[in-house]
Structure 1
């Protein structure tokens, strides 16, 4: 007798929804251009603050951008910041508009097996405003947004919160994600069985992550659950 699967936890971006289509970002969003900051400087400063955006240290994009201006000693332009935030909200809403049918179907089938379904997402508030309006929202037994719980993947604690919320043991749980933020290592560390979701990933990115079983399509999860029993 293998493990009994009591819960399946999913990552959000590039696992359940994707920002890409045919190798191109769905949204035309260029904050550096809007702010008049050089691209590489913007990327560096925004990237530096990633963890603090995810764990809620910066409560929103505005506070993060204001901090970037402060460090760069650039005169603050609140109109530009406002425009960037509006654009960012629109860009982050687009992936929610077209959700892969197989993703939804797979989640429904997992639930029909009497298995709990949870979401564990590293995100800032403006990235998930459309979640509530998406067909995914009412399918989940627990939804963990990192900024709300003040803790982000790969921290063991975020997986433990998810398991506690639906009253399951980590050892009886699967975690499915594209591997960003070292989330698969974090899940394994917390005692969950981690699987690498590659259906939205180009092979060149997918191949960089090793040591975890790869899933080619969402319905592969059903095969795994059945094989565990």
Structure 2
């Protein structure tokens, strides 16, 4: 069985989160410039080792604004801490389900679209030792929904796609991507259901036609559709 990471095995949802000063305002640039450069570097950040701080410096340069090294370092440190937080408090239901699947002899794989800083804390997570293969897009040089990233996991697991289920929340059109490779996709709803309605609705069309799982406890029911 192959899993997505964010909003499938861990969640970044924080009901106590409150917005503070935006990165753009702290850098002294407009939101438009920040968003434009950030989005233009998204694909590269997902498929290469790109230093978050270099992107912030590029944003400042685009805005003809002198980069404040202290602000950039502070934003970098805060991002590392924020991205590490989900790995420090993994839902016990997820761990229980994964351990149960391993006890049944299933191989477990992970395929995640991520930049280098987003998974810097992965090795410290209780999830890390549970997986037989881990494919991070920034290391693989390719991102979901491309067939190649799923194939890397299948090759490492030494399993044909028809014997493998894929479980994810549907971001990056991953469910359709997994289906095109020949895997059996299932939509993980247990974290997605706690997010605001708007986000859930944006993901809705990407999970149409795919079986939904409301809880990690439902994962054993997927085994019949793949490994």
Q: Same fold (TM over 0.5)?
A: yes
Q: Which residue of 2 aligns with 1:92?
A: 83
Asked whether the 8 Å contact 2:6–2:12 carries over to 1, the reply is: yes
* Inter-CA distance 26–184: structure 2 relative to 1 (3 Å threshold): farther
SS in 2 for 1:196: strand
Quick one: which of 39, 54, 59 aligns to 1:47? 39
Q: Which residue of 2 aligns with 1:21?
A: 14
Partners in 2 of 1:178 and 1:226 — Cα distance? 20
Unaligned runs of 5+ in 1: 1-7
Quick one: which of 107, 117, 141 aligns to 2:98? 107
Offset at residue 130 of structure 1 (A)? 1.2
Q: Which has the higher contact order (CA 8 A, sep 6+)?
A: 1
Partners in 2 of 1:222 and 1:60 — Cα distance? 39
How large is the Cα RMSD of the aligned pairs? Answer: 2.2
* Inter-CA distance 26–20: structure 2 relative to 1 (3 Å threshold): farther
* Inter-CA distance 193–28: structure 2 relative to 1 (3 Å threshold): farther
Matched, 1:200 2:184: no
Q: How does 1:51-70 map to 2 (within 5 A)?
A: 51-56=43-48, 59-70=50-61
Asked whether the 8 Å contact 1:29–1:91 carries over to 2, the reply is: no
Asked whether the 8 Å contact 2:28–2:65 carries over to 1, the reply is: no
- Structure whose residues are more often helix by fraction: 2
* Inter-CA distance 228–66: structure 2 relative to 1 (3 Å threshold): closer
* Inter-CA distance 228–45: structure 2 relative to 1 (3 Å threshold): closer
Quick one: which of 1, 19, 25 aligns to 1:33? 25
Offset at residue 175 of structure 1 (A)? 0.9
Offset at residue 26 of structure 1 (A)? 8.4
Matched, 1:138 2:136: no
Partners in 2 of 1:59 and 1:227 — Cα distance? 37
Partners in 2 of 1:148 and 1:76 — Cα distance? 28
Offset at residue 78 of structure 1 (A)? 2.4
SS in 2 for 1:21: coil
SS in 2 for 1:116: coil
Relative to the length of structure 1, the TM-score reads 0.87
Offset at residue 208 of structure 1 (A)? 3.8
Unaligned runs of 5+ in 2: none
Quick one: which of 198, 208, 215 aligns to 1:217? 215
